[in-house]
Amino acid sequence: MTTFPSSHLDLLESQVATLATIDRDGLPQLTEVWFLHDEGEVRLSLNTSRAKTKNLIERPACSLLLLDLTNPYRYLEVRGRADVQPDPDYAFARKVGAKYDDDLSSRDRPGEGRVVVTIQPVKVHAVDMTG
Amino acid sequence: MTTFPSSHLDLLESQVATLATIDRDGLPQLTEVWFLHDEGEVRLSLNTSRAKTKNLIERPACSLLLLDLTNPYRYLEVRGRADVQPDPDYAFARKVGAKYDDDLSSRDRPGEGRVVVTIQPVKVHAVDMTG
């Protein structure tokens, strides 16, 4: 279980976060993603067909930035490596769906699946430039 | 001069963006930064002492995400490589300062300097998941 700073715990409940992976050319790739603060960790449910998912399987280095949309000078960065596990019965996808009141399986096409991505932090960086 | 999609031009005038660099361990590092849409390019004025600046000098791979804070399902990603040039007389820092009504030099300590970072895009990715 990862300890996150108490000053930024509210951001773990926010709706979207910015995920950085590293693409096949070695460039950072940024996308907005849904996430869940689950069992003390920051986790994502990703469709297996997405470039970001393939990036994480081939290169686990990643970072997730949780931004305070009402004050973008305040944010939490969770930098580390992704542990990617199958989610064949969509058990974890349903947990994420409960947060968003959404059926994630309805977003997947035939042949696609889901993985559970757990970010294993190397560095947790809490920023508040507004002091 | 880079062509950005007309649907997302407003984001080039926004206040902050998320910069991804790659740290010495090969992990993506994310920070919020000021930026300027200048002469057709996306540019930053960075203090030479910062980790992100050192990352960009050693590893130019980078990405900048311009997020619509009122609708985080809409954003523009500018992925590419950083061209880093000295700004010894703070000429570019003053241009950025004009956008923010701020004297960037007042933020630097003795011995620190500024560089002009121009992102040379490899990929420009305009996203609107609400569209």
Model pLDDT, residue B131: 59
Cβ separation of B61 and A20 shorter than 8 Å? Answer: no
pLDDT mean over A56-79: 98
Neighboring chain A residues of B127 at a CB cutoff of 8 Å: 31-32
Find the CATH number of the domain harbouring B13.
2.30.110.10
Residue owning tokens 């190397």: A122
Q: What is the mean pLDDT of residues B12-37?
A: 98
Strands of B17-22's sheet in order across: B28-33, B17-22, B61-67, B74-86, B114-128, B41-47, B36-38
Structure-token pair, residue B6:
């007309």
Tell me, yes or no, if the pTM score tops 0.80: yes
Residue A131's pLDDT band, with cuts at 50, 70 and 90, is: low
d(CA A89, CA A123): 32
Tokens representing A62 are 């990643």
Pinpoint the alpha helices (H) of chain A. Answer: 51-58, 91-100
Beta strand A36-38 pairing with A17-22: unpaired
Q: Report how many Cβ contacts below 8 Å link chain A to chain B.
A: 96
- Listed in sequence order, the residues at least 6 apart from A90 whose beta carbon sits closer than 8 Å to its beta carbon are A104, A105, A114
Query: For chain A, what is the domain count?
Result: 1
State the Cα–Cα distance between residues A62 and B116, nearest whole angstrom. Answer: 26
In this structure, is residue A1 part of a structural domain?
A: no
- At B18 the three-state DSSP class reads strand
Query: Hey, is the C-beta of B9 within 8 angstroms of any chain A C-beta?
Result: no
At residue A25, φ and ψ (nearest 5 deg) are -90, 5
Q: pLDDT tier at A129 (50, 70, 90 boundaries)?
A: very high
pLDDT tens, position by position, B89-117: 999 999 999 999 999 999 999 999 999 99
- Give the chain A residue whose CA is nearest to the CA of B20: A28
Per-residue confidence band for A130, with pLDDT thresholds at 50, 70 and 90? confident
Give tens-digit pLDDT for A44-66.
Answer: 999 999 999 999 999 999 999 99
Q: Is residue A84 included in any domain, yes or no? A: yes
- Average pLDDT on A97-108 reads 96
Whether residue A93 lies inside any domain: the answer is: yes
B31 touches chain A (CB under 8 A): yes
pLDDT of residue B12: 98
In a domain, B57, yes or no: yes
Closest partner residue to A26 (CB to CB) among B27, B61, B64 is B61
pLDDT in tens, B35-82: 999 999 999 999 999 999 999 999 999 999 999 999 999 999 999 999
Is the model more confident about B28 or about A131?
B28
> Least CA distance to A126: which residue of chain B?
B31
Element (H, E) at A87: none
Q: How far apart are CA B31 and CA B39, in angstroms?
A: 24
- What single-letter DSSP state applies at residue B111? T
Give the helix/strand (H/E) hosting B57.
helix B51-58
Which residue range is the domain that position A30 belongs to? 6-128
B1 in a structural domain: no
